[in-house]
Amino acid sequence: MQPTIADELYEFSTAHLVDHDTCNDIREIVEAYIFNTLEMNYYHVMIDGKQVERRPGLGTPKILENTWCNDDADTVPIHGNGELSYRAQSTYSYQQKLPLWITSGKGEAEPLHSADEYIDQWSGISSEKLPKYRNTSKPQIKTSIIVPLRQGEGHVFGFLCVESERFHYINEPSKAALLRMADAIGATLASHEDYVKKQNNTRSALNRLKRFALDNKCTSPLAKPTIFIASSERADNKVMGIIRDIVSGFSAQLTPHYWKEDKKAGDIPTQIHESISQCRFGICYFSELSEKKGQESTKAEYVDNPNVMFEAGMLHSLSQSSTASPQACILVREKDSQKPPFDIAHERIVEVERLGSERAELNSERLHDDLRRSLEELLKAFPSW
């Protein structure tokens, strides 16, 4: 059996991407078939997903500036004033998933808009169950054919309505042609909807990529990685001196960024985030001398500075991101400090040891060796330049 235009359209729409222009080209082919081959006077396609008069309804699909109809684009609620009533014969066909071939019950002479009873030549629905024909703008219509649009095996998402000013008797070839054309239109609109979704997803993903590229100051792979160094305003100068000395020994591999010397007036958390996001590594010296030193107290001589802990937390958080710039951080804190408020047992910790009965003398040699070894291990574990 030779394939029809509807067969070819269906095969095309299910096999190819249907963009805006393609959808409109198919619409023109459908119109030519309806008007020239079927010799119908009007056609209208409607799909669901609309809210009409605060109720579920259907509307004419519009692709760019072109509508799937040869009269005015329209919307219609599925039901009338009650859930058991229908606004139009087309919404009855849609909801019941049944094709209708409507003519006047009084025969060929009477147009549908003046008919009191109807004959459904296709599904055999009685006139009492059919809503009244409401298209009063077309007073000469004598045949109205409505075919549900299907997606997949059973899902109905709209309808095709074709109408003629002549009285047409139903026949099997016409039924087959209209069913296949409805399938082709359904496949076309479904494929176009997939195209729009993919296009929107692509645009959304591209916008995220653009924001990431423009809003984030990415580190150049040609530049030496930067190491973010955080400490308290009251950090031990001797400890900071050793940190500076060790970091300067890696000047061929690292560029230091001392946050305490760089921060400015303004939004500090934003500044910290921007600075950290441009650094590959970090060193955070938590400890500062307790303000209660010299007073009778059971607390440790050194405490962790909350600002430095915040900066260490931000370093850790960014290092867990899939797009992280910081990769690892070395934590430095006094051995005699209190237990930290969060678990850092699995992080790189360099403990600052104090000697003597008063724990006042810094074990500089051990700190120097431990810090240098930790930095060497960090660079070995995360080669980046």
**pLDDT tens by residue, the chain, 385 residues:** 688 898 999 999 889 989 999 999 999 999 999 999 999 999 999 999 999 888 899 999 999 899 999 988 899 998 877 666 888 999 999 999 999 999 999 989 999 999 999 999 999 999 999 999 987 677 899 999 999 999 877 799 999 999 999 999 999 999 999 999 999 999 999 999 999 999 999 999 999 888 877 766 566 677 889 999 999 999 999 999 999 999 999 999 999 999 888 766 677 788 888 888 888 899 999 999 887 655 555 445 788 999 998 888 888 887 766 555 567 889 999 988 877 665 565 566 899 998 887 777 899 999 999 999 999 998 888 876 5
Q: Are strands 66-67 and 62-63 parallel, antiparallel or unpaired?
A: antiparallel
Where do the domains of the chain lie, and which CATH numbers do they carry? 5-194 (3.30.450.40), 226-381 (3.40.50)
- Give residue 272's Cα distance to chain centre: 29
d(CA 315, CA 334): 20
130-171 pLDDT, tens digit each: 999 987 677 899 999 999 999 877 799 999 999 999 999 999
- Give residue 253's Cα distance to chain centre: 40
- pTM value > 0.75: no
| CB-CB contact of 259 with 277 (8 Å) | no
Report pLDDT for 71.
Answer: 87
Report pLDDT for 216.
Answer: 60
142: which 2 tokens?
Answer: 């004598």
Report pLDDT for 136.
Answer: 65
27-71 pLDDT, tens digit each: 999 999 999 999 999 999 999 999 988 889 999 999 989 999 998
For the chain, where are the alpha helices, taking DSSP H only? Answer: 5-15, 20-32, 89-96, 172-215, 237-248, 259-262, 268-277, 306-319, 364-381
Radius of gyration of the chain (CA): 38
d(CA 144, CA 136): 13
Report pLDDT for 299.
Answer: 44
> Scanning the structure block, which residue is given the tokens 């590229």?
213
DSSP reduced 3-state for 114: helix
d(CA 221, CA 385): 7
- For every residue of 207-238, DSSP letters joined together read HHHHHHHHHS-PPPTTSPPEEEEEE-TT--HH
* 112: DSSP letter: G
Q: Are strands 75-77 and 55-59 parallel, antiparallel or unpaired?
A: antiparallel
For 40-128, where are the alpha helices, taking DSSP H only? Answer: 89-96
d(CA 243, CA 229): 9
What's the one-letter identity of residue 305? N
d(CA 306, CA 288): 10
- For every residue of 247-295, DSSP letters joined together read HHTTTTT-EEEEHHHH--SS-HHHHHHHHHHT-SEEEEE-EEE-TTTTS
